[in-house]
Amino acid sequence: MTPRGPQPPHARSWVGLDRSGWANLPGLDMEPDLVQFVDELTGYVVVLARHPHLGTWSGVVGFPASHPAAALGIDECEEHFAVHGGITWRGEMAVVTGDPPAERPYAFRPDPDDPRPVPPVARCIGFDCSHVGDWMPAMRSLIRDSKYRSLVYVTREALRLAQQLYAMERAALPDPVALDGPANGDVIDPEAMAAIRASLDLGDGP
């Protein structure tokens, strides 16, 4: 894949899938095929990947092996997290180098120019946008009542999942109340997190 400018901010993105035969959806040519970034509010890794054949997006959130969600099966994840289409992916997330292959690469490729420490990512869960009602670019004709889930949409859903994972991790700490103390000013409380997320400039896409 070929690197592309960051979207959203602080992200790395690539293009490279063969889109011949896909529908000419307005704005589709402006979207990359793979996006990854570290959510600065939760510290988790977000990877958004386009299906190489369907053209639909999927998203996963990577977290440490010590996270409570690492011990959950996919059915249990379905019970704990609300996201588009439900949780459809659970697995490992590796930290690798080099450009990604032209497939759904659920791996984190740190930016060599990023001075921040690499997050301790080991596991991930995620979702996809290939359900009933989701329009697929590889389908040249638009099915009635279906909608294309854009990069803006899948980014929002991934951030929503990251926030739920963060809430679960925080609730599992021995003394979660202490996180609100003055010595823990780097921890963002849920109300502040919601306000910051509401201010993110992610547009008004579907």
Per-residue confidence (pLDDT) for residue 9, from 0 to 100? 52
Say what the pLDDT of residue 68 is: 94
Please give the Cα distance from 125 to 46 (Å, whole number).
Answer: 10
Q: Look at residue 112 in the predicted model and tell me its pLDDT.
A: 81
pLDDT tens digits for 171-190? 887 654 433 333 333 333 45
Q: How confident is the model at residue 92 (pLDDT cuts 50, 70, 90)?
A: very high
For the chain, what are the domain ranges? 2-198
Q: What is the pLDDT of residue 179?
A: 37
Q: What is the mean pLDDT of residues 186-201?
A: 45
Residues 9 and 32: their CA atoms lie apart, in Å, by 14
The average confidence (pLDDT) of the chain is: 79
Query: DSSP class of residue 120?
Result: -
Res 138: pLDDT: 87
Is the separation of the CB atoms in 206 and 153 below 8 Å?
yes
Asked if pLDDT for residue 63 goes beyond 90, the answer is: yes
Of residues 24 and 144, more confidently modeled: 24
Contacts of 185 (CB under 8 A, 6+ apart): none
In total, the chain counts a number of residues equal to 206
Between 27 and 184, residue with greater pLDDT: 27
The 10 Å CB-count burial string (b at 16+, else e) for 84-111 is bbebbbbeebeeeeeebeeebbbbbbbe
CA angle (127, 128, 130) in 5-degree steps: 150
- Residue whose tokens read 């803006």: 152
pLDDT tens per residue across span 148-169: 899 989 999 999 999 999 999 9
How far, in Å, CA of 174 to CA of 147, rounded?
Answer: 43
pLDDT band at 96 (very low <50, low <70, confident <90, very high): confident
Would you say residue 50 has pLDDT above 70?
A: yes
Q: CB neighbours of 81 closer than 8 A, spacing ≥ 6?
A: 87, 125, 161, 164, 165
- The β-bridge relationship of strands 45-50 and 57-63 is antiparallel
